[in-house]
Every structure is written in C-alpha cells, then in structure tokens.
Amino acid sequence: MERLIGVDLGYGFVKATDGREGYLFPSVVGDGSPYLPLRLASQETDPTDNLRVQIGDRVYHVGTLAVRQSRMAYGFLSVMRDEGNDLLVLFLTALSLFASEANTTFSVVTGLPPGRMHLADQFVRSVRGDHRVVRYRTGNPEELYLRVDRVTVVPQPLGTYWSQVLDARGQLAQQHPAADARVGIVDIGFRTTDLVTVEGGEYVPEQSRTVPTGLSAAYGAVANALLREYGIERENHALDEAIISGEIGVSGRRVDITGLREKAFEQLATKVLVEIRSTWQVADYDFLWFTGGGGLALQRYLVPQFSQASLIADPLTANSREYLAWAHYIYGTGGAPWLERTPVNPQPRQG
C-alpha cells in the first residue's frame, strides 16, 4: 500500500499530513527507553505525545516526550542540519504515524531552506529505501517496515505558493492573480527566515535566500529575561507553552510574561524587516505572503508595513499540506524531476 505524504521538517516543529490526518510535534530528539514512563493518566493521549521509536539499535524519545523525559535532549535542529541521524529519526518518526500496517510504502514531498538546497541529494540518499522502525505505543513493540520509494525535495516556502494556487489534489482550482505576478514569500521559522521569490509561476533562486534568524531569537531573549528577573532557567524548546499562553509558573503562582514576549517579538520583527528590505526592492512585488509559525507570531508587526502583504491562512501547516498537493501532482503523472527552475503553477490537465 503506497501512501502520499507531505512532510515539513521545520527547525522547531515537524508537520506531516496525508490529507486525512495531520500531525505536528517538536523537532526534538533525545535518548529513549522502550519502557512506558510512570504517569497517573491512563486514558489514551494524543499519539504525538508519546513518540518512542527504535531505529537501528537505539531507542529515541521524539517530540514532546523528548522535552519531558530525555536526560539529554538534542534540541531543535541546527541551522546546518549536521546532527548525525537526527533528521532521519524525525523523518521516519513522522512516517511511522501513517503506518497502519507492518509494511508501508511512501512517496514523499518535503522541503529544505533555499540556502540548504545543496543538501537535497544527500538527504534523498539517506531516506530513500527500506527502513525497519520499532514503534512503542503502549509498551508493546510494533515492528514496522517503511519503504520510501520516491522523495522530492523543494525549497520550503514553495508550499505556501502552492497553498494559494493548487487544490488538495494538486490541481489548479481556479486562476489565481498570483500565477502571473511577482510574489515574495517570507517564511519565518524557528531558526531561520526564508525569503523566496516566485515570478510568473517560476521559483527564482537568484532572488531567494535563507537568513539565520527566527523565533528562537525571541525565545532566547525571553529565556534570558526569565533567568534575570525570576531565576528560572528554561531551554528554548521547553518555552513553547509559556510563549503561547503568555504565562509561566513561578513558585506555584502564574506570572504574566506577555510584556517580555511582545518586546522580544518586536525586536525580532525589526530584524526581519531589515532583511526583507535589504534583499528585495519591495515595490517591485505584487504580493508579499507571510507564513510559518513566526509569520503568525509577528504578523501585527510585519503585515501593516507593506500594502501588498498578507498572512497566509493556517500558516503553521501550509507547507506540509501543499507538499502533499504537489505529491499528488507529480506522482499522479508518474513523477517529475526537480529542475532548478521548475514551474510551480502547473497547467490544468485535460480530462
């Protein structure tokens, strides 16, 4: 049974979907154990809350479980993605969530930042082929054999472009004004911000780049303020809930940190604005689309700065959903090679 999957291997979160189900978990890997942690709750939890897999001879905690349980959490992916096999662990863990049988074949579209596309061939070689994964859900091991048959790697923010011009099956739902326009996509992730240009339906690498700044800078600023003001130490990957809620527990009481958060967000937004204006002649662009978790967090500071700017709907998962749409498009016609300038506004099929 072949499954088409869109996987967004973000520096902060992994997002994956097959069009029916979607999963999101932190991009954190840690040393694991096949044994269930002791806990009071006995009811079934979110399947991404207890991700334990064995790949080779090692057991890993992945995602939220790694944040909670691992003595040594490897943290979010580094900008250079040079963490040994951690990227493979995250990728296979995501695919295992869609394995309802012992043997499953996958065709996948995923992405790398524009500035890391030179690593695409290496990544494809590492994931294509057969993989044995042992999944631990309730303490009982499930042996899975995952075959990754076809893999296409694209510059990450192209998923955002496809989210606007393709439907869920990879077809042009209707003519979009952006199809013949110059579009700038600003994808603000955890460690990086990707600036991508699509003009007349073509990805333009010469006007696209990856900037090594993202939400982690704001998280780090908040972490430093918490240590300075309250004596609380938090790893960046353990701050997500506090950043979202605007509160953190201090000596048994809830403390409002929205002021710290917004100050950090505003400083980060200023950095992103400088990068946008130094990279592009913004007036030459017909559309500016902000996406990613950082696009959502910083929208109040960024979108009003440009008359042609908007925030993409559901920006956190836009890439993974539209990687899937692209998978339907290219694999539905027997596959298509990735070219440096691949048209990203395919023509409607006849019949």
- Please report, in angstroms and rounded to a whole number, the separation of the first and last CA atoms in the chain: 26
With bands split at pLDDT 50, 70 and 90, how would you rate the model's confidence at 191? confident
Topology of domain 2-155 in CATH is Nucleotidyltransferase; domain 5 (3.30.420)
Whether the pLDDT of residue 112 is over 50: the answer is yes
Distance CA 189, CA 179 (A): 25
Whether the pLDDT of residue 17 is over 60: the answer is yes
The bridge status of strand 103-112 relative to strand 2-9 is: parallel
Beta-carbon-side half-sphere exposure of residue 306 (alpha carbons within 13 Å): 24
With bands split at pLDDT 50, 70 and 90, how would you rate the model's confidence at 169? low
Phi, psi of 290 (to 5 degrees): -100, 140
Whether the pLDDT of residue 38 is over 80: the answer is no
Q: Write the pLDDT tens digit of every residue in 134-146.
A: 998 766 789 999 9
Q: Write the pLDDT tens digit of every residue in 51-101.
A: 999 999 899 999 888 887 755 555 544 444 444 588 899 999 999 999 989
2-155 and 156-319 share one fold: yes
Average pLDDT of the chain to the nearest whole number: 84
- Domain borders along the chain are 2-155, 156-319
Mean pLDDT for 147-168 is 84
Distance CA 222, CA 216 (A): 10
The CATH number of 156-319 is 3.30.420.40
Q: Is 342 helix (H, G, I), strand (E, B) or coil?
A: coil
Six token digits for residue 92 = 């296979």
Strand partners, 242: none
